[in-house]
């Protein structure tokens, strides 16, 4: 069997003809296998959805319980047959519940890794290398210029700034699923034990993480009183950490805080110009995707016969593979944006 007969790019996403299913389809389909809960990978409206328990729960939180007609839970490491094609889910290390999907048929195995990373993340299971003939990798940061620094050092910059500016609120922009909880958990690991204020858009997901046993410490709503008698006063935010989705920072919401230090946790903060454009005073290079070294080391470690590259800087990674006599191709799938990273 040729790899293309088992999985192929289509307009709706990666399609498996013998199994008659799609992986992370970008439009509603009869049967979807979903790697993780980010909005560009997990979309509502498909008939049947197979994903990990946590990803299904995240989709229900975001889209409502009727995000599909029929859900099926994939237990990590267990093989299921779909129309005679074997599929199994394995941790991807990207966000809570994220999984790579291995598809095997007639002696051929393709692993669609979704989004993944290799460095330690206290909020999800680590990436598990899965032997395969074809490895499908993302390429969000697939340029040699992208080398993410140590996470603890980036969190250390935030802590140092809090000490240096004890009267200023530190507004940390972080994507609502995964990044926000990870930044909070890293702060706790660094010994920061004051209450952390969160924007309302993060509440459901933070509650879900806490319910899954990821201790985020004391979180408070970042609402300013006093009209209802609830919420904090402006003075409470002096020297406080306030975490919110990046979109909220362009908003009136951000102006309620005293002399804020604008921070943004993203792999894109490696690009100084992006930080400047967004008016970010304290860029924190914290990424939920592999950097260049992690991508190339993963391919070396797995040793597949062929690599398919999707969403991001496809050409550079394809070229890197070719220089090593490794067959590689860009998939040119559309509809996946990792701007939110
Ligand atoms: Zn993602
Ligand atoms: Zn992605």
Question: In three state form, how does the secondary structure of 138-205 look?
Answer: EECCCCCCCCCCCHHHHHHHHHHHHHHCCCCCEEEECCCCCHHHHHHHHHHHCCCCCCEEECHHHHHH
Ligand that comes closest to the CA of residue 36 = 1
Q: What value does the mean pLDDT take over residues 104-112?
A: 98
Q: Cα(113) to centroid of ligand 2, in Å?
A: 10
Q: How far apart are CA 116 and CA 312, in angstroms?
A: 13
Averaged pLDDT for residues 284-307: 98
Q: Rounded to whole angstroms, what are the CA distances from 219 to 62, 185, 199, 215, 303?
A: 20, 11, 10, 10, 44
- Cα of 317 to ligand 1 centre, how many Å? 19
Instruction: Give the distance (Å) from ligand 1 centre to CA of residue 123.
Output: 14
The answer to whether 253 and 171 have CB atoms below 8 angstroms apart is no
Gap between the Cα atoms of 176 and 204, Å rounded: 10
Query: pLDDT value at position 335?
Result: 87
Report CA(194)–ligand 2 centroid distance (Å): 33
Q: Are 75 and 50 in contact (CB under 8 A)?
A: no
Centroid of ligand 2 to alpha carbon of 190 (angstroms) = 28
Least distant ligand from the CA of 93? 1
Comparison of pLDDT for 252 and 220, the residue scoring more? 220
How many whole angstroms from 42 Cα to the centroid of ligand 2? 10
What pLDDT sits at residue 254? 83
End-to-end Cα, the chain, rounded Å: 36
pLDDT score, position 216: 98
Q: Is 13 helix (H, G, I), strand (E, B) or coil?
A: strand
Measured in Å, residue 267 CA sits from the centre of ligand 1 at 12
Instruction: Say if CB 140 and CB 40 are below 8 A apart.
Output: no
CA 337 / ligand 2 centre spacing (Å) = 6
Q: What was the pLDDT predicted at 224?
A: 67
Mean confidence (pLDDT) of the chain = 94
Collect all residues with Cβ–Cβ distance below 8 Å to 179 and sequence separation of at least 6.
Answer: 265, 266, 286, 288, 341
What distance in angstroms lies between residue 341's CA and the mean position of ligand 2's atoms?
A: 8
| Among candidate residues 86, 131, 140, the one with its CA nearest the CA of residue 294 | 140
Q: What is the pLDDT of residue 96?
A: 98
Distance from Cα 94 to the centre of ligand 1, integer Å: 7
> Rounded to the nearest whole angstrom, what is the distance from the C-alpha of residue 322 to the centroid of ligand 1?
26
Q: What are phi and psi of 246, to 5 degrees?
A: -50, -35
Do 96 and 54 meet the contact criterion of CB atoms below 8 Å apart?
yes
Q: Are 180 and 199 contacting, i.e. CB atoms less than 8 angstroms apart?
A: no
18, 6 Cβ separation under 8 angstroms = yes
* Average pLDDT, integer, range 135-149: 96
Query: 339 near 274, Cβ under 8 Å?
Result: no
Statement: the pTM of the whole predicted model exceeds 0.85: yes
* Structure tokens, 132: 């395969």
130 close to 90: Cβ distance less than 8 angstroms: yes
Q: Which ligand is nearest to the CA of 58?
A: 1
Interval between CA 116 and ligand 1 midpoint (Å): 8
Query: Is the per-residue pLDDT at 247 higher than 90?
Result: no
Distance (Å) from CA 94 to ligand 2 centroid: 10
- Centre of ligand 2 from the C-alpha of residue 326, in Å: 24
Cα 321 to ligand 2 centroid, rounded to whole Å: 21
Span from the CA of 198 to the centroid of ligand 1 (angstroms) = 21
Q: Is it the case that residue 236 has pLDDT exceeding 90?
A: no
pLDDT in tens, 45-71: 999 999 999 999 999 999 999 999 999
Contact 97, 124 (CB under 8 A): yes
Instruction: Tell me, in angstroms, the distance from the centre of ligand 2 to residue 172's CA.
Output: 22
228: pLDDT strictly greater than 80: no
Pick the range with the lowest mean pLDDT from 4-8, 184-188, 257-261.
257-261
Residue 58 CA, ligand 1 centroid: distance in Å: 13
Note the ligand closest to the C-alpha atom of 24.
Answer: 2
What is the C-alpha separation between 267 and 117, in angstroms, rounded?
12
- CA triple 156-239-209, angle to 5 deg: 65
- Res. 227: pLDDT tops 60: no
Confidence band of 339 (pLDDT split at 50, 70, 90) = low
Mean pLDDT of the region 175-188: 97
Question: Ligand 1 centroid vs 126 CA: distance in angstroms?
Answer: 15
What distance in angstroms lies between residue 338's CA and the mean position of ligand 2's atoms? 5
Distance CA 294, CA 288 (A): 12
Give the ligand at the shortest distance from the Cα of 338: 2
How would you classify the pairing of strands 13-16 and 8-10? Answer: antiparallel
Tokens of 294: 């992690």
Closest ligand, as measured to the CA of 341: 1
């Amino acid at each position: 069997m040729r790899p293309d007969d088992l999985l192929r790019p289509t307009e709706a996403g990666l399609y498996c003809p013998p199994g008659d299913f799609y992986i992370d389809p970008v439009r509603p389909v009869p049967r979807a296998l979903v790697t993780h809960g980010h909005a560009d990978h997990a979309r509502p409206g498909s008939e049947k959805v197979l994903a990990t328990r946590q990803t299904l729960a995240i989709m229900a939180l975001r889209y409502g319980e009727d995000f599909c007609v029929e859900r099926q839970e994939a237990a990590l490491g267990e093989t299921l047959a779909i129309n005679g094609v074997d599929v199994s889910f394995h941790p991807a290390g990207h966000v809570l519940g994220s999984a790579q999907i291995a598809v095997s048929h007639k002696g051929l195995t393709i692993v669609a890794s979704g989004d993944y990373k290799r460095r330690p993340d206290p909020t999800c299971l680590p990436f598990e290398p899965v032997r395969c003939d074809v490895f499908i990798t993302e390429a969000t940061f697939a340029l040699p210029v992208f080398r993410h620094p140590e996470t603890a050092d980036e969190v250390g910059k935030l802590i140092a700034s809090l000490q240096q500016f004890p009267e200023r609120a530190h507004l940390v922009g972080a994507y609502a699923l995964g990044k926000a909880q990870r930044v909070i958990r890293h702060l706790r690991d660094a010994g920061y034990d004051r209450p952390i204020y969160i924007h309302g858009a993060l509440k459901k997901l933070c509650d879900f993480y806490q319910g899954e046993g990821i201790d985020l410490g004391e979180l408070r709503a970042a609402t300013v009183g006093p009209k209802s008698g609830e919420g904090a006063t402006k003075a409470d935010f002096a020297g406080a950490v306030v975490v919110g989705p990046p979109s909220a920072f362009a908003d009136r919401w951000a102006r309620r805080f005293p002399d804020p230090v604008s921070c943004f946790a993203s792999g894109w903060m490696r690009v100084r110009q992006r930080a400047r454009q967004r008016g970010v005073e304290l860029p924190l290079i914290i990424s939920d995707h592999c950097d260049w070294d992690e991508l190339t080391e993963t391919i070396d470690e797995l040793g597949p016969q062929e690599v398919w590259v999707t969403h991001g800087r496809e050409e550079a990674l394809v070229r890197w593979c070719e220089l090593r006599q490794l067959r590689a191709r860009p998939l040119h799938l559309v509809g996946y944006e990792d701007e939110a990273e």
